Copies of this chain bind each other. A is one copy, B any other.
Amino acid sequence: MRYSHKREAIQEIVYGTNSHPTADWVFQKAKVKIPNISLGTVYRNLKQLDDAQLINTIYDGNIARYDWNREPHDHLKCKICGDLIDVQLFDDQIRKTVKKLYKFEPDDVVMTIIGTCHKHNK
């Protein structure tokens, strides 16, 4: 993967937020620094960064979001404010269970817990 100024900028944008941004959000941010950048470039580079394991792609419903956090982790999705919160749960037991019970070789556990986050406590 050859160096590119734009890919670097895109990576910096993803690394600079905890908001699990969409491609379009990244595109809007990138345009501020590089006015003539195109959305296709953003998509292509996000894919390349994902392929290179520099970022992660997560699916929130039917829309892709990007995450700099490559440690295995899960997400809490608040149904009120839409926030996606990183959490570290214990997937190890789950991996063992599916391996034993279903003869399934797990690579990756993708877990999202939908509910109400602490901001909306009555």
Question: What distance in Å separates the Cβ of A104 from its nearest Cβ neighbour in chain B?
Answer: 5
Residues of chain B with a CB closer than 8 A to A17's CB: none
Task: Check: A111 CB closer than 8 A to any chain B CB.
Answer: yes
Interface set, chain A 51-68, CB cutoff 8 A to B = 59, 61-64
Residues of chain B with a CB closer than 8 A to A109's CB: 111-114
Residues of chain B with a CB closer than 8 A to A98's CB: 76, 87, 89, 113, 115
Question: What distance in Å separates the Cβ of A33 from its nearest Cβ neighbour in chain B?
Answer: 28
Classify chain A: how many residues form its interface, as a range. 35 or more
Residues of chain B with a CB closer than 8 A to A105's CB: 115-116
Task: Check: A85 CB closer than 8 A to any chain B CB.
Answer: yes
Task: Check: A107 CB closer than 8 A to any chain B CB.
Answer: yes
Task: Check: A71 CB closer than 8 A to any chain B CB.
Answer: no
Chain A, residues 92-118, CB within 8 Å of chain B (1/0): the string is 001101100111111111111111111
Question: Nearest 8 CB-CB pairs, A to B?
Answer: A103-B118, A106-B115, A105-B116, A111-B111, A108-B114, A107-B115, A62-B62, A110-B112
Q: With A85-B102, A110-B112 given, can you name 6 additional A-B contacts, CB distance below 8 Å?
A: A59-B62, A89-B94, A94-B111, A107-B116, A108-B115, A110-B114
